[in-house]
Structure 1
Amino acid sequence: MTKQARSLPAGRSLPPLSNWLRRVLDVEPTATALTFAESDFPWSYFACAASELDALLSDRPTARRIGLVLRNRPGQLAALLATIATGRQVVTLSPHVGDTGLGDDIRALRPDVVIADDEDWGRDSVRAAAEDTRAIPLVVSPESGLRPHPVSWVPEPPGLPTDDVAVVMMTSGTTGRPKRVSLSYPQLTAAFQAAGTVLDDSTGPRLRQGYVILWSSLAHISGLYFAIAHAVDGRSVALLERFQVEEWARSVRRHRPRQLRLPPTAIRMVLHADLSADTFTSVRAIGSGTAPLPPELAEEFEARYGVPILTTYGATEFAGAIAGWSLADHRRWAAVKRGSVGRAHPGIELRVVDRAAQEEVRAPGSVGLLEVRGPQLPTGGGGWLRTNDLASVDEDGFLFIHGRADDAINRGGFKIPPSVIEDALHQHPAVSDATAVGLADERLGEVPVVAVTLCAQASERELLDHLSARLTRYQMPVELRILDQLPRTPSLKVDRPRLQELFGAPGTPPGQSAISHPEERS
């Protein structure tokens, strides 16, 4: 598919990252940049989206905050890159939350513009929230690019300040309720450079050979980060809407990538699918992040397929990974540094702090709270940022993660604070109390379950429907139980271990009821 790109307006001061991306898009406009299903899209497809965005907002110079309902589809990827290429601010909106949750996000974030495809503009919640905030409505599709979406209201975008913020997105909630994190253009640039992307004006941008496969949700940091990074690096992308083993394997065999990315959950799925070894003949290494990778799982995969797994460690607040394994380190150290997430990326400093004394622990291998410092962090390299991860750093600089200091549920890399589920249930008038806990799951690591007590009549199905309108799919509990009372400690705190035992025990105790969520555990 080709289109005639219009020149972007001159005279506007853009961030260096935006200027670089625009130059990448113009290196070879007719070369293939994106493959989706059976269609190929040239680099000019992305360049045209940037031109169209500028043209559509030419009479609205203060409309800088672009709310994107991000599905893994060509139009949405083009809109994402167009927003970055024109120096505007991406406000991520997940299409996978319930209708109520998506509408609440739009109202809370008040983007100047809402971009969605016809499917999401067909949701009453999107239209109503966009009308309430008087956002400029744009519709996107692979065939016709960006265009105005007909509406009954007169857009009056708020024009809130954007400063140097490139992305405002939701964390997966490691330290409480999921919150919006702002990532600046300098942070993103530093993150790309720390991971090896070269932004060198002396040589200029160039297109790379071969494909990378992108299937992580664009609304999640792993998908959004790599979508932008691959474009900045001039790499062609094979885009998948979601991870399905057979479809993913067909894409690997077709495009023969040199590197892949698979979180632990997907690694287990690949092993269970028993793919043929020739699937990976082109692959030199597989990167893995978003969740802890059990060493035995990595060893099983490497023994079966002969491809090393390189773990990374990062977070949304870090604008990506801050530590990881290189191929050279894996060759030398893999056998003796079993379980490490690798070493700090260039420009990143790590230290461990004693939880009680609140002082740095200098003895190699000592466990404490991890603190990090570097230019891609919110502190900009000017101070230490404390995480909720318990960690140690050995004498060779290898980082080991020993769990978390909070009770977040890690479901296949998506971190769910129990309060997200509990607060949503407390909005139901029949719920008097609710507690969510995580249960061990072979494939996903952990899955959430929830127990409630009632002050009025309500069915389990009613409560699950209430949750599905307010939570993303990964936040939905796989089981809900109505109890006469929640188990408590002598200090009257909810006894979470006892509650976990209750869910782990076979059967349902008398006087209590249970129902599993109808969707599979994914």
Structure 2
Amino acid sequence: MTRDLATLAVPPGADALRVLPDLARALDGTGPALLPFAAGSKAPALPPAPGTPADLALAVGTSGSTGRPKRALLTTSALQASARATHARLGGDGQWLLAMPAHHVAGLQVLVRSLVAGTAPVAVDTSDGFTPAAFVAATGRLDPAARSYTALVPTQLVRLLQDPEGREALARYAAVLLGGAAAPPSLLARAADAGVTVATTYGMSETAGGCVYDGLPLDGTRFDLDDDGRISLGGPTVAHGYLAEPGLGAAAFTRGPDGTRWFRTDDLGHVDADGALHVQGRVDDLVNTGGVKVAPRVVEEALLAHVEGVTEAVVVGVPDEEWGQAVAAAVVVADPADPPALADVRARLHGILPGHALPRRLLVLPAIPLRGPGKPDRAALRTQFGDTPTQ
């Protein structure tokens, strides 16, 4: 059986709540399944897609980290399983604040969780971009008697923690889900010091959003690592493949002997002694410098923890005649008038990182370029490095 599929233009900010009736009909089967896209952009084509699941609800775009974006087929049962497992982990149903674009899976799940819980979401006005003032104002419209939740990306959390009223608003939430990009330990420590309850999330469109919270899988979810550390995620939230791309879906999605659906990610990780999953980054983000592989996240965390004034850091590999690739760091600093020099950064990290992992190029930027739901745009950063000196 093939489910009817329709495009859905999702407005930004507070107007995104207008799609709730369409989303409700997609979930209960009284309306077509939906292919969400950002209002104002070109509507995606609706390709023939025979054999889609009978309870298909959404065809959600992936972030397109490598190559062209795809659309993951998410069923009503997968989305509801995700919402219920999230509420079970957080301590019960609650009212949600939408602070991210609702055509991406993280924003869509805020709306799905609201529908499943039977609560009315509130949305941040992003007509002037995401600002602490708009977040504070939206928080004030939540029901003070209800448990309140929101979902953010690290860049948003950084901005809110820098604002006194933003910190006060954050502390009101029973939980703040943090995903979309790596959360530096220093950022989590700052949030904890401010009395903010943060749950780091790991997942993607192919798993109906976050399915591992604080390193531990939600109810029904499992993870597995192959011999190289590549992560696979399994459980009821896994998508049923990609829209109109059965061959690609067959390579990424499998079904275990017990019937569990699995998705093989492009991420590497390890499991600690307590059984918690730690994601080290994408396979294709590893920097191969002088024949040695460097995980960008290790260098990013060292920059944030040990180089004074650095508030954001993203590390990429850039071509280098001598080393093949050079470790290149882009940073945002608290005081742009006093940026660190490359030599100072290398000296500060000497003995903390092995020599091959020390940055050989440095860019100080006013902001990290982003794509999708708050992910660093590593491709854009690579082009920005250009002819920065190598050391």
* Secondary structure at the counterpart of residue 161 of structure 2: helix
Alignment of 1:164-179 (within 5 A): 164=54, 165-179=56-70
Q: Residues 351, 170 of structure 1: CA spacing in aligned structure 2 closer, same or farther, 3 A cutoff?
A: same
Query: Would you say 1:67 and 2:11 are equivalent positions?
Result: no
Preserved contact between residue 222 and residue 233 of structure 2 (Cα < 8 Å): yes
Q: For each residue in 1:277-306, what CA deviation from the matched residue of structure 2 results, as whole angstroms up to 9, or x when unmatched? A: 543453333221111100101111221x21
* Secondary structure at the counterpart of residue 66 of structure 1: strand
Preserved contact between residue 64 and residue 159 of structure 1 (Cα < 8 Å): no
Preserved contact between residue 216 and residue 222 of structure 1 (Cα < 8 Å): yes
Alignment of 1:9-24 (within 5 A): none
* Secondary structure at the counterpart of residue 229 of structure 1: helix
Of 250, 266, 271, the match for 1:388: 266
Number of aligned residue pairs: give it. 292
Query: Would you say 1:343 and 2:216 are equivalent positions?
Result: yes
- Where does residue 192 of structure 1 map in the other structure? 83
- Where does residue 375 of structure 1 map in the other structure? 236
Find the structure with the greater CA-based Rg.
1
* Partner Cα separation in structure 2 for residue 79 and residue 247 of structure 1: 26
Equivalent position amino acid for 1:376 in 2: T
Equivalent position amino acid for 2:85 in 1: A
Equivalent position amino acid for 1:310 in 2: A
Of 49, 65, 71, the match for 1:180: 71
Equivalent position amino acid for 2:223 in 1: L
TM-score w.r.t. the length of structure 2 is 0.63
Preserved contact between residue 369 and residue 380 of structure 2 (Cα < 8 Å): no
Equivalent position amino acid for 1:261 in 2: A
* Partner Cα separation in structure 1 for residue 199 and residue 87 of structure 2: 15
- Where does residue 94 of structure 1 map in the other structure? 38
Query: Would you say 1:263 and 2:153 are equivalent positions?
Result: yes
Of 76, 100, 106, the match for 2:19: 76
Q: CA deviation at 1:168?
A: 0.8
Q: CA deviation at 1:500?
A: 6.0
Q: CA deviation at 1:478?
A: 11
Q: Residues 226, 477 of structure 1: CA spacing in aligned structure 2 closer, same or farther, 3 A cutoff?
A: closer
* Partner Cα separation in structure 1 for residue 103 and residue 122 of structure 2: 17
Of 173, 176, 182, the match for 1:283: 173
Query: Would you say 1:236 and 2:120 are equivalent positions?
Result: yes
Of 239, 255, 277, the match for 1:399: 277
Q: Residues 308, 239 of structure 1: CA spacing in aligned structure 2 closer, same or farther, 3 A cutoff?
A: closer
| Greater Cα offset, 217-226 or 232-241 | 232-241
* Secondary structure at the counterpart of residue 121 of structure 2: strand
Q: CA deviation at 1:195?
A: 2.2
Query: Cα RMSD (Å) of the superposition?
Result: 4.0
- Where does residue 212 of structure 1 map in the other structure? 96
* Partner Cα separation in structure 2 for residue 477 and residue 392 of structure 1: 24
Q: For each residue in 1:243-267, what CA deviation from the matched residue of structure 2 results, as whole angstroms up to 9, or x when unmatched? A: 3220111222342453332221101
- Where does residue 222 of structure 1 map in the other structure? 106
Unmatched segments (≥5 aa) in structure 1: 1-12, 14-61, 111-157, 199-206, 326-341, 356-367, 411-417, 419-436, 449-470, 482-495, 507-522
* Secondary structure at the counterpart of residue 237 of structure 2: coil
* Partner Cα separation in structure 2 for residue 90 and residue 176 of structure 1: 23
* Secondary structure at the counterpart of residue 169 of structure 1: strand
Equivalent position amino acid for 1:78 in 2: P
* Partner Cα separation in structure 2 for residue 473 and residue 372 of structure 1: 21
Unmatched segments (≥5 aa) in structure 2: 240-253, 287-295, 298-316, 318-326, 334-365
* Secondary structure at the counterpart of residue 395 of structure 1: coil
Q: Residues 228, 504 of structure 1: CA spacing in aligned structure 2 closer, same or farther, 3 A cutoff?
A: farther
Q: CA deviation at 1:439?
A: 6.5
Query: Would you say 1:300 and 2:190 are equivalent positions?
Result: yes
Q: CA deviation at 1:473?
A: 11
* Partner Cα separation in structure 1 for residue 223 and residue 113 of structure 2: 24
Query: Would you say 1:320 and 2:209 are equivalent positions?
Result: yes
Q: Residues 347, 445 of structure 1: CA spacing in aligned structure 2 closer, same or farther, 3 A cutoff?
A: farther
* Partner Cα separation in structure 2 for residue 169 and residue 402 of structure 1: 25
Q: CA deviation at 1:186?
A: 2.7
